């Protein structure tokens, strides 16, 4: 897992590049790599537009322990202690799994995950539901 402090535009560029590199190493298509990099960039830009800065972590994900990486997780920590200033509607379409939490002590934390398409389709279709006698 990599942690990056987001304080200025050069930090945004670094986070975007690292996200794209990790997405490429996991096996995402070029289109998905671009979507992941774009999402990371937009979230990081939101951090530097506020007075309080934040940090971001990026890591590879596996469905099961010991398996090859099949996804990416990005966590954004906005250190603002007031009400959440980040809207989740625009990111819902870009991520497979999204969590947005906020508390007065730690601020807002956004976690988004995206899985490679081949892994998602295997999970959905690998074990069909059959009634007794239907095989």
pLDDT of residue 135: 38
Let me know: does 95 contact 114? Beta carbons within 8 Å: yes
pLDDT of residue 107: 75
pLDDT of residue 12: 93
CA atoms of 78 and 57, how far apart (whole Å): 12
17 DSSP assignment: H
pLDDT of residue 93: 66
- How many residues make up the chain in this entry? 135
pLDDT of residue 129: 41
CA atoms of 109 and 123, how far apart (whole Å): 28
Neighbours of 26 (CB within 10 A): 22
CB environment 37-74: b (16+ within 10 A), e (fewer): bebbbebbebbeeeeebbbbebeebeeeeeeebbbbbb
CA atoms of 99 and 44, how far apart (whole Å): 16
pLDDT along the chain (135 residues), means of 10: 89 94 93 91 83 82 76 83 60 73 76 69 37 41
Neighbours of 12 (CB within 10 A): 22
pLDDT of residue 89: 66
Let me know: does 72 contact 58? Beta carbons within 8 Å: yes
Q: Model pTM greater than 0.75?
A: no
pLDDT of residue 80: 66
pLDDT of residue 69: 77
Who contacts 61 (Cβ-Cβ below 8 Å, separation ≥6)? Answer: 69, 70, 71, 72, 73, 113, 115
**Domain 2-124, CATH:** 3.30.565.10
């Amino acid at each position: 897992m990599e942690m990056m402090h987001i304080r200025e535009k050069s930090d945004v560029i670094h986070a975007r590049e690292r996200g794209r590199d990790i997405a490429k190493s996991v096996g995402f298509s070029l289109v998905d790599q671009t979507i992941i990099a774009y999402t990371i960039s937009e979230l990081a830009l939101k951090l530097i537009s506020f007075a309080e800065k934040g940090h971001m972590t990026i890591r590879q994900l596996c469905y099961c322990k010991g398996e090859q990486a099949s996804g990416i997780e990005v966590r954004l920590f906005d250190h603002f202690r007031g009400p959440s200033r980040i809207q989740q509607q625009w990111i819902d379409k870009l991520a497979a799994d999204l969590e947005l939490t906020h508390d007065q002590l730690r601020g807002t934390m956004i976690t988004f995950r995206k899985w490679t398409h081949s892994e998602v389709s295997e999970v959905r279709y690998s074990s069909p539901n059959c009634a007794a006698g239907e095989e």
